[in-house]
A and B are shown apart, each in its own frame.
Chain A
Amino acid sequence: NAGVMQNPRHLVRRRGQEARLRCSPMKGHSHVYWYRQLPEEGLKFMVYLQKENIIDESGMPKERFSAEFPKEGPSILRIQQVVRGDSAAYFCASSPGSNLQPQHFGDGTRLSIL
């Protein structure tokens, strides 16, 4: 019973490049959440998606960041023109439905910007 799968585990980019982070939810889960953890801090909500829809992106920076959860395939968090401040751990979580159910987290992607 595979859990939430994130890849890559580690990603190194130079300033100005693009970063693409992938998340496959648990089987049967249609709700996906992305969180960011800056060094020595707790996790902060970025975006909540259901299949083909962004439901809440209130935690997402207005520029350079985008997320999608297509009908087929994993959810993608895309960061364009990365800067040093984007260095963080990015976690994906999934749940089967409403907020009466727990969110299950992947192992995260550690993004380092040179």
Chain B
Amino acid sequence: GIQVEQSPPDLILQEGANSTLRCNFSDSVNNLQWFHQNPWGQLINLFYIPSGTKQNGRLSATTVATERYSLLYISSSQTTDSGVYFCAAQGGSEKLVFGKGTKLTVNP
């Protein structure tokens, strides 16, 4: 089945800095989603982005399906951005396959 790898595994930023998180996947995808898991464990849906580019406030994402990767950009980071960011991909089956996540810590 499809495999999903995320990098970096850990990222520490100072408030106001920008960052890029990467997600590589091993096969063509029908669905790719980015999530933020906050310190309370809730899973927040950030983007549904099987291809192309989307923006939502300080966050944007780009998926290049032909090269099998997706990027999540966080600009002007805030302490509330801390948590774990997951990428999840769906290939030929209905299930989402999650990466291991990038743990982001934003210090004031």
Residue ranges of A at the interface with B (Cβ–Cβ < 8 Å): 31, 33, 35, 41-45, 48, 55-56, 58-59, 89, 91, 93, 98-105, 107-108, 110
- A42 near B94: Cβ-Cβ < 8 Å: no
Binding site for A on B (CB under 8 A): 30-31, 33, 35, 41-43, 45, 48, 86, 88, 90, 93-101
The answer to whether B30 and A45 have CB atoms under 8 Å apart is: no
Q: Contacts of B30 on A, CB cut-off 8 Å?
A: 99-100
Instruction: Give Cα A114–Cα B100 distance, bound, in whole angstroms.
Output: 27
Q: Is the CB of B86 within 8 A of A103?
A: no
Give A15 Cβ to nearest chain B Cβ, in Å. Answer: 23
Q: How far is the CA of A99 from the CA of B29 in the complex (A)?
A: 10
Whether the Cβ atoms of B94 and A41 lie closer than 8 Å is no
- Nearest chain B CB to A20 CB, angstrom units: 20
**Of A91, A99, A105, A108, which is within 8 A of B94 by CB?**
A99
Contacts A43-B86, A43-B88 known; A108 to B42 CB distance under 8 Å? yes
Q: Are B86 and A42 in contact (CB under 8 A)?
A: yes
- Pick the residue among B41, B45, B90, B100 that contacts A108 (CB under 8 A): B41
Once bound together, how far apart are the Cα atoms of A31 and B94, in whole Å?
10
Name the distance in Å between B97's Cβ and chain A's nearest Cβ: 7
18 residue pairs bridging A and B, Cβ less than 8 Å apart: A31-B94, A33-B94, A35-B98, A41-B100, A45-B95, A45-B96, A48-B95, A56-B93, A56-B95, A58-B95, A93-B96, A100-B30, A103-B31, A105-B43, A105-B45, A107-B42, A107-B43, A110-B41
